[in-house]
Amino acid sequence: MLKKILGLAPKLESDGSYSPSKMALKMSVADKTDFENISYQKYEGKRSKILVIFTEQKNLKMKNGKDFSTGNHPVEALLPMLHLKNAGFEFEIATPTGKPVVFEMWAFPRKDEHVNAIYKEHKSSFERPVKLSDFINTSFAHSDSYAAVFVPGGHGAMIGIPEDKNVAKILNWAHENDLFTISLCHGPGAFLSTTLNNQKFLYKGYNMAVFPDSVDNKTPMIGYLPGKMPYGLSENLKSLGANLMNTKMDKTVCVDRTLITGASPLASNELGKLAAKTLLKELN
């Protein structure tokens, strides 16, 4: 009751899940982003496509059994997409089974004209995405048309995607064909899929930025999460041999070979800039 009075109690949704408390939203969600509308020298080559793998799942079960109302974080998805679009790239939107993309709409920056514009531009694709197995069947033979695979963050990226064999196939396909892999925050949970069926972790020895478990462990105190996370992502990646470049929820971004990563939603703009500049430099 005291937490509710102080605005620290997570909000109960109609489906029984919990979204962040009033206090957590006040501390972590802004009406506008720090997006920089940069004019890049647009890419005009053949490898203009970027596959974006979104979650289609909404509820992530915490250790205490409560469901966190999540999905993909809109800023973590749309700011990098804005930069990549400005650099001349186009997107194929996909989810594991072709169900609609799920966003954390409580985190949507309502007054940001750029974010609203790209969301509306791709809304039909978010509602009717490509199925991963269909992408594998139709597009693996056309790797020379693709520049990168992008896995946005949001806690929803940890629902199903780390256990999805098709995600593993796509990440390995990107790696083998020298496509870039871009991700941030909890999106690198997708990388865990490469260890399915006792396979060696694809990114062992790579430098990467990822959301720190230490922050996830603290956010239930302000009602952002309704309980402790089911497992620690950053420590899991570290145990598999990843070299973590950040310890805080900050703007850290990192490129190592063809892997481009960012630490948190605060890094969304920086990741977009780094991804756009890196792809233009390497592909032109």
* CATH number of the domain where residue 225 is located: 3.40.50.880
Q: Is 254 a catalytic residue?
A: no
The answer to pTM > 0.85 is yes
Residue 19 lies in a domain: no
279: in domain = yes
In a domain, 234, yes or no: yes
- Any domain includes 29: no
Could you read off the pLDDT tens digit of each residue along the chain, which spans 284 residues? Answer: 545 655 689 999 999 999 999 999 999 999 999 999 999 999 999 999 999 999 999 999 999 999 999 999 999 999 999 999 999 999 999 999 999 999 999 999 999 999 999 999 999 999 999 999 999 999 999 999 999 999 999 999 999 999 999 999 999 999 999 999 999 999 999 999 999 999 999 999 999 999 999 999 999 999 999 999 999 999 999 999 999 999 999 999 999 999 999 999 999 999 999 999 999 999 98
Domain that holds residue 210: 49-63+76-91+127-284
Question: Could you give the number of structural domains in the chain?
Answer: 1
**Does residue 199 sit within a domain?**
yes
Catalytic residue among 50, 159, 185, 253: 185
The rounded distance, in Å, linking the Cα atoms of 25 and 223 is: 9
Q: What is the pLDDT of residues 98-107, one digit of tens each?
A: 999 999 999 9
Q: What is the pLDDT of residues 217-226, one digit of tens each?
A: 999 999 999 9
